Amino acid sequence: MDRYQRMELDFEHLEEQQEYLVRMKGLLAARLGVPLAAVHSYGCQGNAADTERIKGLLAQMGYRFTDDLDRADLILYNTCAVRENAEDRVFGNVGALKKRKEQKPDLLIVLCGCMTQQPAVAEKIKKSYPYVDLVLGAGAYHLLPKLLYDRLTGGKRSFTLLDESPLVVENQPVSRDGGCKAWLPIMYGCDNFCSYCIVPYVRGRERSRTPAHVAEEARRLLDEGVKDITLLGQNVNSYGKGLEGAPTFAGLLEELNSLPGEFRIRFMTSHPKDCTRELIDTIARCDKVCKHLHLPLQSGSNRVLREMNRRYTAEQYLELVDYARETIPGLSLTSDIIVGFPGETREEFEETLGMIERVGYTSLFTFLYSRRSGTRAAQMEDPVPQEEKSRWLRELLAVQEPIGMGVHQAQVGETLPILADGLGKTGEGMLCGRTDTNIIVEFPGSPQLIGQFVMVRITQARNWALLGERI
């Protein structure tokens, strides 16, 4: 038995949703002709994938998309709560919508996602942002057609937040932005409750899509010409928990790897505590799975890791890394690091530096600790001044820079298959793509090559990318 409610919108719910999609389409066409929506996604790839589903619904209502807020009839922000600066940016941008609403009273303003799932934030929007029409928590997106319809036909502004977002909603339309690359969510929510992190509170309990639904979506993407699929979950290594037949992430990778065609599979994020040797063996064996592990360390100090509730030690992490390096030749490792966790000492920070030097990451995502109210760490004493933490962060970046550059330089002279996925940034006539190990590569080529694998010889390393030439 599933531990949560599985909602496949294929029966009455889907019918009801369809009904409102059709009603909305008629209403919008009559009022606006071609309605325009400006949709912006903050935060992680999981949010980006949700946004593609929200846009899928909007597209079925007849909306076309624009980046020009002046022309938009609907402005929707899918928000992120992971750090304070993410929230500040959203509040800033929502504040700026007040004027627009005054000038254009028919403008619809919708706030979705993680931020709105926090009671205090929902309250603040209620009180201080009266011009926001709809608030829709993460996991309630399938209700958007009805909620929009109700609002447009004279209903009050509404707040729809799900207590534990207990749903897995299938059979939803998707409007993708990624061209030959696609996000593919395999699970939602998180059960880990790392002590600094808001995600489990705003995203609800961990729940997986069935392997059949994932494989079906992968097949559809491949039929559409997608050649680079990134599987998404907060902790993909615990995929399948609670599902019938106890499928595993390794098994899912194997199944997707066996689909026909030339394509790549990437995935994130791997939690070290659930990263098994079986999974590493599977990555090594599967030719379409990229040789890249994003394995967030967060801290190199065992005391801090314990306080973070990460449930691994630095030694266990290193053992895993050593096994992965032995088993997967050419493996690239990347990580997330938090600097300045409450009570972290200078010595403990130095242990993190030691780990960074020992592991040799290709690149790092580094964050200054941000207090999230409601989390356990928010109650902890936090004596180190912000300025000191910022100094530590700069020091850490200075340690990582030559390490990353070394990894990049080691690629010079290699010839690699690269999926050309867009125009390059380094100049006219350049294309870009990513290596199997997730490093950006730029090379000269005609835009017609976008969407194809080409062989590229790496000629130069920069700290943010590789440069190469087609052969």
Residues that bind ligand SF4 (CB under 6 A): 190, 192-194, 197, 199-200, 234-235, 271
Q: Which does 372 bind (CB under 5 to 8 A by kind): ligand F3S, ligand SF4, ligand SAH, none?
A: ligand SAH
Among 76, 338, 355, 356, contact with ligand SAH (rule: CB under 6 A):
338
Q: Does 6 bind ligand SAH (CB under 6 A)?
A: no
Closest distance to ligand F3S from the beta carbon of 117 (Å): 9
Among 35, 43, 247, 272, contact with ligand F3S (rule: CB under 6 A):
43
- Of 190 and 256, nearer to ligand SF4 (C-beta) is 190
- Of 81 and 275, nearer to ligand F3S (C-beta) is 81
* Residue type (1 letter), 101: K
* Contact range with ligand SAH by CB under 6 A, out of 11-19, 191-199, 211-219, 379-387: 191-199
Closest distance to ligand SAH from the beta carbon of 210 (Å): 21
Q: Does 82 bind ligand SAH (CB under 6 A)?
A: yes
Q: Does 336 bind ligand SAH (CB under 6 A)?
A: yes
Closest distance to ligand SF4 from the beta carbon of 197 (Å): 3
Among 77, 369, 392, 443, contact with ligand SAH (rule: CB under 6 A):
369
Please give the residues from 203 up to 222 whose contact with ligand F3S meets the rule CB under 6 A. Answer: 203
Please give the residues from 85 up to 104 whose contact with ligand SAH meets the rule CB under 6 A. Answer: none
Among 44, 111, 289, 308, contact with ligand F3S (rule: CB under 6 A):
44
Q: Which does 43 bind (CB under 5 to 8 A by kind): ligand SAH, ligand SF4, ligand F3S, none?
A: ligand F3S
By CB under 6 A, name the binding residues for ligand F3S: 43-44, 46-47, 80-82, 114, 198-199, 202-203
